[in-house]
Structure 1
Amino acid sequence: MNRLLQSVHALLRSFRLWATVGGLAITVLAILVLLGHVPMPAVQTFDRLNQDHRLRWQPPEFEPRVLIVDIDEKSLQEQGRWTWPRRTLARLVERIVDEGRARVLGFDIVFAEPEPAGDLSLAEAIRSRPVVLGYYFSRQAGARRIGRLPSSVFEGHAFDGWLLPQWDGFGANQERLSDAARSSGFYNAQLDDDGVVRSVPVLTLFNGQVYESLALAMLRVYGDNPPIALDGQLLSLDAQTRLPLARDLTARVPFAGQAGPQAGRFEYISATDVIEGRVDPARFRDRIVLVGASAPGIGDRHTTPVSIDTPGVEVQATLIAGALAGHMPYVPWHAELTVSLITLLVAGAAALVMPRLGAAGIVLLAAALLLVLQSANALMFGVLDWITPVAAPMMAVVLIAILNLATGHFIESKARQAVVALFGQYVSPKLVQRMAREPAAYPMESQNKRLTILFADIRGFTRIAESMDPQVLREYLNTFLTRMTEVIHQHQGTVDKYMGDAIMAFWGAPV
């Protein structure tokens, strides 16, 4: 009996050891995934979806300093299909800048094709005024180089070692317009491999020169053209306006809620209402105004975390608003190291504790740890603007829980069967069930205990046996011993042995 019970305890100890080793191995795997040594695209996909979901649920904050003049369907109906005559756009500039006194006006539009008479009117309208023109770069092989690029802001060698994209062409503004504008900036967005725009380049390299984005150029004009200062991966224009950059000189766009005219993040005004003088000029005073298009078929449109059809002008507006508000989410340089440490603590604790818990305890602990991980991730984003991965440590906790549930169920069921088979005929059913559930609570080491012992037999059994047929005697004994065993079990006793017509039982020890 002792050898069998000792084998049960050894089986449980072996389970705990191997479950712990397996859990620690899963923890190491999760850390290797975080550090990029083991590629696991599903983990990266989960992190992206998790972050996108958080952005969609985040309430947008209205930014009063930024306004969008929208070339919408109403504008196309009144002013005609795009492209409009440059004289019409010159009138738009005069309404916003001369009459409205906007602090800066930016175009999320490029004027690449010449219109001699119209170009002259538009150039005169934007000359000596705080107007920033947009343009774009192209990666397509053999892409054309149209228009004239503005002056660069840095020499390319200043960014040796940075992971900068390569461009093959560009679509810039006509030379007359580019020279007349206060500044110009590219409005390219960066597509992730799932086709979603989460970041935009702030600076980029072309032909050995570094150029600034539309959002950055507008922020500089808004701040009276401060110099660009780079400290590590932090771009600063002044003490308040800072943009944390990734190694490819992109910045995360602080999307929130939804996108478009109905989202409530920005004030949208129809371009035709501005052109026709139906808008109070005071609405533009001291504000950053972007001109772009939400009408289908015009301008750039993107899939973003908050919408599958976000106007490109709102992407630029959102980046500007985030920089002004000082709310720019970013991936800190120590993100992988920080989350690796969290993974070691959380998943390591799960690997050490779960083998000692039952199924319910494992599930509850896993749920609690997952909640802690998500809460910590949300706290780092909400308070510190950190974008940190959470999928790898969550994956580790789930896998460790599954490992312990699967192996624990198999091994404990084997141990339970052994205990029931061994003690079922000697110990009360309730005690057998308790021993099967918690075999470790009943050690097999020798112990000194004070016991109550019962010896019982049938008085005058020899005389009775001589007068009975053997088959009748057997039934007589079975009836007696069965009834005695039932009574002993009812009082939580343990049957030690049967000796002919006698039974021995004791109380005070379960085995």
Structure 2
Amino acid sequence: MTLLQQAGLAIGLSLVAALTILRGTDPQSLRLAREATFDLYQRWAPRAFEEMPVRVVDIDEASLRQFGQWPWPRDRLATLVDKLSELGVSAIAFDILFAEPDRLSPRNVVGDVPGVDPGLLRQLPDNDEIFARSIAGKPVVLGFGLSNKGRYLPSVKAGIAFTGESPIAAPPHMKAATPLRPELEVTAAGIGHISLNPGSPSSVVRAVPLFLSDGEQLYPNLALEALRIAQGASTYLMIAAPDAASTITSIKVGEFIVPTTAAGELWLYVSPDTTDRYISAGRVLAPGEATADIKAALEGSIVFVGTSAAGLQDIRTTALGENVPGVSLHAQSVEQILSGRFLTRPDWANGLEILSIAIMGGLLVVLTIFISPAIALVAGLLITAFALVASWLAFSVAGLLLDPLAPVAAGTITHFAATSFRFLVTDRERRAIRRAFGQYLSPSLLYRIEHTRNALRLGGDDRELTVMFVDVRNFTEISERLSPTAVVRFLNTLLDALSRHVTANEGTLDKYIGDSIMAFWNAPLDVDDHCCKAVRAALAMRETLADLNAADTFGFGADQKVGIGIGIHTGIACVGNMGAEARFNYSAVGDAVNVASRIEAACKSVSFDILVSEDSAKSLMEFALLDAGKLALRGKTGRTNVYVVVGDEKVAVSAEFAELKLIHEQLIQALRLRPGTSRKIAAAARLKAARLTASLQEFYDRIPRRPDHFHTNPIAANINLSRTSG
């Protein structure tokens, strides 16, 4: 592990730790984002509306037009209670506050007139008393709201028991309540709070507190109290977590068990708002007997009395994005409990999401720093897809609320940060390598050197190389006939076409020297069969040049053909970055380089385009080679045995080459023993050579004039014997 990788790992894991801690603190922005995700799930799969014994008697616009503006006198509400009771409802819950005396009561109206006899005043009817007498003995639940003023707290009409630790501190806290008229508080069968989302920063009602607490007493909400009264139950059972204080897991009311949040809240699983849930209060109050459809809808039902009139400002937003009367959410709470369709966020959800951030983030950091940002991206996308699918399935199948957003967002941030670090810092060295070697190496070799440590250190290593020199024949003559611009264009076209075969065969382009190319194999990294690959590149250059001449690419005409000479030698050379720290080139120097250059120059005297040294020939036993004799290379004290490269393995096993090989051996023997007979044999070899390559014809024309180049050569004989036996 390099220092840069260690730094990247430390920075990445530190970021993961910070994101994990951030999720552990669960700031409001994350909560709102999580809740918005759960809202989206409900929009995709809302709870279907089912016919339940729950109805809303709606003081709607039609009712207000029929009976006058709000507030109505409470004797009219008493009439409403009487009619609902006659229809056999199981409970009547008012989502209405009765905090002030009825100002429309006759006693209150006359009491405001000066000089009225107090005795007469007491004889006048009081609407609050009428309403109190009406609800007495009936299953009526009245509501109260929250207040920051006063010390009034309503009475609790039910017993509250609990298992485990006391849950008194778990529900949302209430300081005081809006007061109920005393006569109404005494006669009501139940009292419940009507607050839907106290203290929530969001206007969307997602979870309803089933209880509030003042630190000493628990107060049920309107919907839960209505359900209790409808069942005739007298007690709530609070089921607390066995190993956590002030934590509620569920609430038992009558025959129903309601799973809750730790604070005793019911996650609302809402259904789309529908008129089937509502009955206009005006229809219930209409004179005469109620219609059959009203009787069928209300008999045995839990009835919530509230208003949908826009001017009364009791409109709330649901997770489906709908604006509905607040009273309908109380009704939906009871519908949800009766249907058994609950949404729950398990106690272990937070821990799972925090752990997933740590694991996913750590994995992405390791993959990005040590493997590849692309692989990390694929892994991140797969994990993201898994998290999204798992979260959706948990919701749609089991009603579990598991947040996929925080792990996915944390993973995205982590991957971006780690990728940025790697691009800006860790990959700096590889980008430098790519700039230095991109024009000279094949993509596969470049990838290998990118992943090799210390690839660009200044200095060199002694290693075995196969070195190639390529030179254009008669370049001086060609350049004399062309303008400087045309010469450059000619060289660019030719050298580009030839150089491609070097990189295609895993070679390294060292430099261009005028009209020459220097390349080598087996550096900067090991290349298997490097000598064979160098010869394959040379043969490919031969074919490419033939195609260029045939197509008259250079525009010289049919009579002017461009020729090249290629010299190849295998030996030890020093290869590495040479120059200064600020500017250097990757190159090779040494005797092996000089020998390859001299062999290329000898192509002229031998009259053949591809020559290899004896050291290279030892690794080319499968190629079609012919002995070209021992040459006195400039700067070398002894002679160097060289071979012409006729073709590849296919040519080597052909019948034509086998015949030529026999004649060539006879020619060499004649040159050594009977030079006078060599011309006749050379002519025969020339005829055979014409069937293989035209280059050999000039080679055989010149051989009789080079008898001093051929003498006893055991290694050459071994190569020949190997060819013959093959």
TM range (shorter): 0.7 to 0.9
Residue 26 (structure 1) aligned with residue 15 (structure 2):
yes
Q: Distance in 1 between matches of 2:350 and 2:275?
A: 32
Among 162, 181, 187, the residue aligned to 1:180 = 187
Closer, same or farther: CA 355–421 of 1 in aligned 2, 3 Å: closer
Q: Is the 8 A contact 2:249 2:264 kept in 1?
A: no
Q: Distance in 2 between matches of 1:75 and 1:201?
A: 31
SS at match of 1:237: strand
In the TM superposition, 1:59-78 aligns within 5 A as: 59-65=46-52, 66-78=54-66
Partner in structure 2 of residue 6 of structure 1 = none
SS at match of 1:331: coil
Closer, same or farther: CA 144–85 of 1 in aligned 2, 3 Å: farther
Q: Is the 8 A contact 2:367 2:375 kept in 1?
A: no
SS at match of 1:171: coil
Unpaired runs of 5+ in structure 1? Answer: 1-9, 258-262
Among 382, 401, 408, the residue aligned to 1:368 = 382
Give the aligned residue type for 1:33.
L
Residue 203 (structure 1) aligned with residue 211 (structure 2):
yes
Q: Distance in 1 between matches of 2:131 and 2:487?
A: 118
CA deviations over 1:125-165 (Å, ceiling 9, x no partner)? 43333222222231x2x34749x645363499954543641
SS at match of 2:79: helix
Residue 46 (structure 1) aligned with residue 33 (structure 2):
yes
CA RMSD across the alignment? 4.2
Q: Distance in 1 between matches of 2:210 and 2:372?
A: 53
Closer, same or farther: CA 123–450 of 1 in aligned 2, 3 Å: same
Q: Distance in 1 between matches of 2:91 and 2:187?
A: 15
* Higher deviation after alignment, 101-110 or 191-200: 191-200
Among 243, 252, 267, the residue aligned to 2:267 = 252
In the TM superposition, 1:188-337 aligns within 5 A as: 188-189=195-196, 190-206=198-214, 208-225=216-233, 227-232=235-240, 233-237=248-252, 241-257=256-272, 263-264=273-274, 267-276=277-286, 277-278=290-291, 279-298=293-312, 300-307=314-321, 309-337=323-351
Cα deviation for residue 213 of structure 1 reads 1.4
CA deviations over 1:337-373 (Å, ceiling 9, x no partner)? 1212222232222222233565554544433333332
Give the aligned residue type for 2:265.
T
SS at match of 2:97: coil
Closer, same or farther: CA 444–479 of 1 in aligned 2, 3 Å: farther
Cα deviation for residue 231 of structure 1 reads 1.8
Q: Distance in 2 between matches of 1:265 and 1:363?
A: 49
Residue 80 (structure 1) aligned with residue 74 (structure 2):
no
Cα deviation for residue 185 of structure 1 reads 1.4
Q: Distance in 2 between matches of 1:270 and 1:91?
A: 15
Partner in structure 2 of residue 385 of structure 1 = 399
Among 141, 161, 171, the residue aligned to 1:132 = 141
Give the aligned residue type for 2:159.
V
Cα deviation for residue 397 of structure 1 reads 0.8
CA deviations over 1:400-431 (Å, ceiling 9, x no partner)? 1211332333347744542344335644xxx2
Q: Distance in 2 between matches of 1:102 and 1:447?
A: 98
Give the aligned residue type for 1:43.
L
Give the aligned residue type for 1:153.
G
CA deviations over 1:239-296 (Å, ceiling 9, x no partner)? 9622233444333333355xxxxx2385111110111135531221222221111112
Which of the two has higher C-alpha Rg? 2
Partner in structure 1 of residue 596 of structure 2 = none
Q: Distance in 2 between matches of 1:41 and 1:283?
A: 42
Q: Distance in 1 between matches of 2:308 and 2:239?
A: 37
In the TM superposition, 1:422-461 aligns within 5 A as: 422-423=436-437, 426-427=440-441, 431=442, 433=443, 439-440=449-450, 454=468
Closer, same or farther: CA 281–479 of 1 in aligned 2, 3 Å: closer
SS at match of 2:208: strand
Unpaired runs of 5+ in structure 2? Answer: 106-124, 241-247, 526-726
* Higher deviation after alignment, 452-461 or 47-56: 452-461
Q: Distance in 2 between matches of 1:495 and 1:338?
A: 55
Give the aligned residue type for 1:80.
G
Q: Distance in 2 between matches of 1:450 and 1:192?
A: 76
Q: Is the 8 A contact 2:449 2:524 kept in 1?
A: no
SS at match of 2:96: coil
Among 83, 93, 97, the residue aligned to 2:85 = 97
Q: Distance in 2 between matches of 1:34 and 1:352?
A: 21
SS at match of 2:174: coil
Closer, same or farther: CA 421–135 of 1 in aligned 2, 3 Å: closer
Partner in structure 2 of residue 3 of structure 1 = none
Residue 122 (structure 1) aligned with residue 131 (structure 2):
yes
Give the aligned residue type for 1:171.
P
SS at match of 2:137: coil
Q: Distance in 2 between matches of 1:297 and 1:499?
A: 92
* Higher deviation after alignment, 398-407 or 204-213: 204-213
Q: Distance in 2 between matches of 1:122 and 1:165?
A: 31
Residue 394 (structure 1) aligned with residue 402 (structure 2):
no
CA deviations over 1:284-334 (Å, ceiling 9, x no partner)? 122222111111233743344334743221121122122222233243322
Cα deviation for residue 438 of structure 1 reads 6.5
Cα deviation for residue 77 of structure 1 reads 0.2
Q: Is the 8 A contact 1:255 1:318 kept in 2?
A: yes
SS at match of 1:197: coil
Closer, same or farther: CA 208–360 of 1 in aligned 2, 3 Å: closer
Identity among equivalent pairs (%): 25
Q: Is the 8 A contact 1:354 1:362 kept in 2?
A: yes
Q: Distance in 2 between matches of 1:440 and 1:166?
A: 66
Give the aligned residue type for 2:285.
I
Give the aligned residue type for 1:181.
A
Closer, same or farther: CA 494–222 of 1 in aligned 2, 3 Å: same
Q: Distance in 2 between matches of 1:34 and 1:320?
A: 34
Closer, same or farther: CA 27–240 of 1 in aligned 2, 3 Å: farther
Q: Distance in 1 between matches of 2:255 and 2:449?
A: 65
Closer, same or farther: CA 15–266 of 1 in aligned 2, 3 Å: farther
Q: Distance in 1 between matches of 2:313 and 2:488?
A: 99
Among 154, 170, 173, the residue aligned to 2:178 = 170
* Higher deviation after alignment, 213-222 or 477-486: 477-486
Partner in structure 2 of residue 5 of structure 1 = none
Q: Distance in 2 between matches of 1:494 and 1:460?
A: 26
Q: Distance in 2 between matches of 1:203 and 1:500?
A: 92
In the TM superposition, 1:1-12 aligns within 5 A as: none
Q: Distance in 2 between matches of 1:246 and 1:132?
A: 25
Q: Distance in 2 between matches of 1:373 and 1:381?
A: 12
Partner in structure 1 of residue 581 of structure 2 = none
Give the aligned residue type for 1:103.
S
Cα deviation for residue 385 of structure 1 reads 3.2
